[in-house]
Structure 1
């Protein structure tokens, strides 16, 4: 045992706290007694808070937690815009825990640049965690270009750790307890993903005392962003697209286009809605309550009427989301914007392929292979294609080439989804053109309420 009163060590995703004498009562927060080793333990993410407590209490301690690789002096040539500097300053000025916090900025506003400058400031081994292979490759290219050092990669067929490493959430989840002492700083890109049950463990098992979350939309409808706040820090900076439009992002406009169902579609929609409504009324289920909706889903497993009600609701949703009026409206929009770069968003793959075939537009869905998707996006970037149609796969986590027109034919009531789709057209245009988003909605259907919720 060291002559220090306390020794901190990393051990399989925990901080082992050794005291001399072993039964010393130091009032250490976040720790529990471990009778097997006769020490106290805390989850690894409490490392920064433990150090802060020991220092504030004037307790001598030996810190053997981090085993991070050394880096050469890092320098980035980026010069931050005023709002980017404000975001970085807000993250650095956090009082409670050193350098924790979430930054919420619109897509296209340069969140990656803020992360790069934070790495430059801290000069410590850093892990960047991202949700997709596209973002993995994007971050790796950026770090290699800015710092001219080897950059490790976990995911996409590689498992190589360097002092600067980029990992997918999936790979980090599998290796967090093993790598938890290797990094002094962790950046969670698209940090709202950390709210997922499994992914939370990544942040819990890492000891990294400095933590940054980046996102365009922090709040989650399931309130799991509160868990993220405990693991990375609360939101310390936010700026809306409206505040950047015209100066740092393209000015934009949103137009809602209302379309009517055909007589046949209306008949099918109303019939299926009636089946659903009748069951809900008779069963006393409150559809405004998420728990009641889950009860309906559970009932459908052994109640044929509940199952039919859910199927009827899905059929009605398919009618309003994929109506013929929407297809005709898209034809008009595409004709009007022949000279523009257009991304068409839908909620369903079936509609994507229907539109792709009808208008001869390249399609990108979850079923599109990685190589084909890269080829399509590269051709869009180079101007060989002027329009693409996609389902949710391009909402986030993909480096989408510049476009100035988006058409939302269908989607969920998620504000995040809508914000991300808008963000795909907000990068400043060389010719100063404004961005335009069309939101196509079937009138006198539940889609009107869905559209209102996301706005």
Structure 2
């Protein structure tokens, strides 16, 4: 380890047969301790002989320095034993393919990303057969990775070892691929609340109404359950469409009808509601639509009356003061999940249940409504991610993802990919920075969010986008009230009266008002108009769903859009903002990072 040349480094690369090294691999190849390897690699780097890539997580990657001349080119480095891929400067095609079978763990401003292939990514991969999934992996890595492909194959088979089906006598049966799986897994994990009795060594009689719970329990045991029940199609309901589906929406509907269950994961602005209405018309059965708020219930009712042949008397709403059950019924999750109301929904034979904004399903207050089952179950969400990492329940309870390839919609021009930029804002003063340093917990995040320098940066951005439709988002009411006064623009929050809210939204929608300041109330549940520019001054710490929702307010079929995410430099906001954009990056949206202008 005393030679001043790079012989050791290149010898290790040749021995391991790979173009980059971690310190652990270098130590193993040169038969030295990792401490000595770290020290030697650091010496090489300080001498300008090797470079390093750090994606803010282990491992640090070391590579020949001449690679920096190709720094802007895409490179994929695989770590099969950890089921991880480190991708430098991924192209949109690569990001889109990775989004179908891998999870974006981390990324940094240098263009490097870590992807991990987890069990649930293979279980829910949107491919009709294993060969298509393996082909997608090979197109990204450029090679066959036998150990990794063997593991993926095992997980693919694992997700197909339990099935719920309908017995010829009408009750539900849980069937396992083997006697061992039924005896050592299912009957050990499930009790009398879920199973009546054995039918055979591989079959058990399911207690009525426990199907959703069985899916959750076996999923937690590591065994997804396929749902092949012959569920009731409900009474026939003729629905004619007063609109034409786009090609990709028709493809979504066809895939859904073929599978009978699934979650549309299309980008904001792609028309998931329209596709949902198309599914209703194709299924042709009485439909229950579950939504998180009364406002969304009203929007669904309006869309159905405008886009279909349904009359007002055929559409009912069940929430708050309205308790109407009709051939098409729109209910809130909270109401549908209550025992005294759920019985009424259970008694009706639904041909289709639509779970709008279905990312809410894993939350305790919404979960019971997922026990409502029908032959066709359709979830809608642009952001099926949750900070509690329990989003897998969405696909377990409803169905597999559909429409995950956002890049195809971007490239075809159906939805314009927004330009997303993180702006790092310096502290306005030493006093403000000192206040942050002395603050703790929640207060610390609020101090960073309210950095006075952000207001100066917002003024510059508004000047540069004068005359364009701009939505400005904040997470704190005090910050919103301060900005509203300083910028002389209206502030729409949860405290804004309904009539005033509708007036402001109408003015913005029709172009008579070009700037609107919005609190967290604009993230979901109201029909916030699309904008050409979005500026996010503060947000929930690292919430991927909130980040995607706010960026999604600029996604439209025509015209470009610009999104600015502001973060105070040197604070935890930097990581929060990167975290918020992780779901969009995983879907192929490019994110740039730059410093804010200074006065």
Q: TM-score range by the shorter chain?
A: 0.7 to 0.9
1:370 deviates by: 2.8
Greater Rg, structure 1 or structure 2?
2
Find out whether 1:77 has 2:239 as its counterpart.
no
Q: Deviation digits for residues 120-147 of structure 1, max 9, x if unmatched?
A: 1111000111112222111111112212
Find out whether 1:166 has 2:327 as its counterpart.
no
Match of 1:101 among 237, 247, 262: 262
**Partner of residue 131, structure 1:** 292
Secondary structure of residue in 1 paired with 2:261 = coil
Return 5+ residue gaps in structure 1 as ranges. 10-21, 33-39, 56-62, 273-311
1:47 deviates by: 12
Whole-Å separation in 2 of the counterparts to 1:379 and 1:200:
37
| Correspondences of 1:233-244 after superposition (within 5 Å) | 233-240=399-406, 243-244=409-410
Whole-Å separation in 2 of the counterparts to 1:441 and 1:125:
48
Find out whether 1:252 has 2:451 as its counterpart.
no
Does the 8 A contact of 1:28 with 1:50 survive in 2? no
**Superposition TM-score, scaled by structure 2 size:** 0.58
Q: Deviation digits for residues 334-385 of structure 1, max 9, x if unmatched?
A: 2222201110111211111111122221212222233332222112112232
Distance 1:245 1:313, change over 3 A: farther
Secondary structure of residue in 1 paired with 2:504 = helix
Find out whether 1:350 has 2:478 as its counterpart.
yes
**Partner of residue 440, structure 1:** 566
1:422 deviates by: 0.9
Does the 8 A contact of 2:334 with 2:365 survive in 1? no
Does the 8 A contact of 1:407 with 1:439 survive in 2? yes
Find out whether 1:267 has 2:434 as its counterpart.
yes
Distance 1:377 1:51, change over 3 A: closer
Distance 1:257 1:46, change over 3 A: closer
**Partner of residue 396, structure 2:** 230
**Partner of residue 363, structure 1:** 491
Distance 1:194 1:90, change over 3 A: same
**Superposition TM-score, scaled by structure 1 size:** 0.75
Find out whether 1:318 has 2:446 as its counterpart.
yes
**Partner of residue 194, structure 1:** 361
Does the 8 A contact of 1:30 with 1:46 survive in 2? no
Whole-Å separation in 2 of the counterparts to 1:229 and 1:314:
33
| Correspondences of 1:2-41 after superposition (within 5 Å) | 6-7=169-170, 25=199, 31-32=205-206, 40-41=207-208
Q: Deviation digits for residues 231-266 of structure 1, max 9, x if unmatched?
A: 111223313268426711234212222211121111
Match of 1:338 among 466, 482, 494: 466
Does the 8 A contact of 1:154 with 1:161 survive in 2? yes
Whole-Å separation in 2 of the counterparts to 1:248 and 1:138:
23
Whole-Å separation in 2 of the counterparts to 1:437 and 1:341:
12
Distance 1:339 1:322, change over 3 A: same
Does the 8 A contact of 1:192 with 1:217 survive in 2? yes
Secondary structure of residue in 2 paired with 1:418 = helix
Distance 1:41 1:254, change over 3 A: closer
Distance 1:44 1:446, change over 3 A: closer
Distance 1:148 1:421, change over 3 A: same
1:186 deviates by: 0.3
**Partner of residue 282, structure 1:** none
Find out whether 1:384 has 2:384 as its counterpart.
no
Match of 1:423 among 516, 530, 552: 552
Distance 1:215 1:327, change over 3 A: same
Secondary structure of residue in 2 paired with 1:407 = strand
Distance 1:241 1:5, change over 3 A: closer
Distance 1:170 1:454, change over 3 A: same
1:157 deviates by: 3.4
Secondary structure of residue in 2 paired with 1:256 = strand
Whole-Å separation in 1 of the counterparts to 2:542 and 2:267:
19
Does the 8 A contact of 1:409 with 1:440 survive in 2? yes
1:7 deviates by: 4.8
1:93 deviates by: 3.0
1:221 deviates by: 2.5
Does the 8 A contact of 1:31 with 1:41 survive in 2? no
Distance 1:362 1:23, change over 3 A: closer
Q: Deviation digits for residues 372-419 of structure 1, max 9, x if unmatched?
A: 322221121122321111122111232112311100111131222111
1:226 deviates by: 1.9
Find out whether 1:113 has 2:274 as its counterpart.
yes
Whole-Å separation in 2 of the counterparts to 1:29 and 1:365:
54
Whole-Å separation in 2 of the counterparts to 1:121 and 1:228:
23
Aligned length: 375
Distance 1:27 1:114, change over 3 A: farther
Distance 1:241 1:315, change over 3 A: farther
1:69 deviates by: 4.9
Does the 8 A contact of 2:359 with 2:384 survive in 1? yes
1:25 deviates by: 3.8
Does the 8 A contact of 1:345 with 1:392 survive in 2? yes
Distance 1:209 1:106, change over 3 A: same
Match of 2:255 among 90, 105, 110: 90
Distance 1:377 1:246, change over 3 A: farther
Whole-Å separation in 1 of the counterparts to 2:536 and 2:210:
43
